[in-house]
Amino acid sequence: MASQPKLSAHPLLLLGRLDGRLANSPARSIWMARARLEGAATLAGLAGVPISVADLQDWIAGRTPPPRRTEDLDDPISVAALYHFALSATEAAVDPLVQATLAVSRSVLDDRNEAEFWAPYDLVRFGPAWREASVMLTAPYPEADLLGVAERLLEAQRLIGGAPQAARSVLTMDGRELRFPPLRFDTVWMLASFVPSALHAAGFTLRPIPSLVGLPKLLGDAPPTLAASIQGMIMKTAANGLRDLDRLEHRLARLPLDFPVTKRSKAPLLVQLEMAYPGLRLTAVARLLGISHQGATKVMRQVQEYLGQNHKDSPHRHTATAS
């Protein structure tokens, strides 16, 4: 009889430390926004549409259409739809940090409108299975046990991915009925999008942490093996998350020294937004900061000069653009 993988408490201690620091860290909103992008990029890789966080940032800032949209690729799902599913997987969470950062994300780029415009067929094709996965994986768990989470994931895969989806019909705005034949499709990315909420529902975290989505592409059929994979993913993601949180807190602590402005200035807030969404355009800056376009232009100029002087320390490629 093959030995079963042993689970360690160390990854969960790291996860608890990260989760606890997110409660009071001054960089928690920036970190959560970046974690959403990292999680979405990871899910895209699982879905067979590999993209980078920078690709998402280019789209969010309005520099490009959705990633891979113009490359004439036969992708199994559009990035616009996948990004919408990724963000929506945690929208039911009542945690104030999750809700606030989701609201900001949708103020910068509304994933719902983008998915409706670029990928209505994918919303119809994947939506029913995605909702079934949500019900199964976010329901309460009897105890905080990774083995229980793994068992629920495998059960969901058997029920959702084991049989083709039923044929569906959709009524278009002009009154036509479109019928879609039964299809089989990979569900790992879909299940992975709910792992943050599953870990929260099982009592491992105080809130869904959106970067905790790195499942193996093949889940297998052994709960202990999958639980060990989830544990390894938690350890890697939590360790990287703590390092990123340290860097962000250090940058924020130095901001008043490196960027002296008046207390009423909106520039420091824009610098923080740039840490998550580099290259924001004028209209988005004005909307997010609640100022006029003229005021936004002035603030953006200040931030561009600051980021230009500190380019070597910046983790991003772009600065805000006034177009």
Query: How many residues are given for the chain?
Result: 323
Q: Which amino acid is at 26?
A: P
How much is the pLDDT for 168? 55
Q: How far apart are CA 171 and CA 284, in angstroms?
A: 34
Angle at 60 between CA 292 and CA 186, to 5 degrees: 155
Compute the distance between CA of residue 7 and CA of residue 175 in angstroms, rounded to an integer: 55
* Cβ proximity of 63 and 278 under 8 Å: no
Model confidence at 294: pLDDT above 80:
yes
Percent of the chain whose predicted confidence (pLDDT) is above 90:
61
Of 185, 188, 127, the C-alpha closest to 154 is 188
Backbone phi and psi for residue 299, each to the nearest 5 degrees, phi listed first: -65, -40
**DSSP annotation of 3:** P
pLDDT tens-digit readout, 51-84: 999 999 999 988 889 998 765 578 899 999 999 9
142, 205 Cβ separation under 8 angstroms: no
Measured distance CA(40)–CA(54) in Å, rounded: 12
Report which of residues 223 and 284 the model is more confident about: 223
Q: How confident is the model at residue 308 (pLDDT cuts 50, 70, 90)?
A: low
Overall average pLDDT of the 242-250 stretch: 95
Question: pLDDT tens, 94-122?
Answer: 899 999 999 999 999 999 999 999 999 99
For 76-93, the DSSP string reads SS-HHHHHHHHHHTTTT-
C-alpha 146/C-alpha 228 separation (Å) is 8
What is the sign of the dihedral through the CA atoms of 6, 237, 146 and 222? negative
Q: Check pLDDT > 70 for residue 310.
A: no
pLDDT in tens, 183-207: 455 799 999 999 999 999 999 999 9
Give pTM, 2 decimals.
0.84
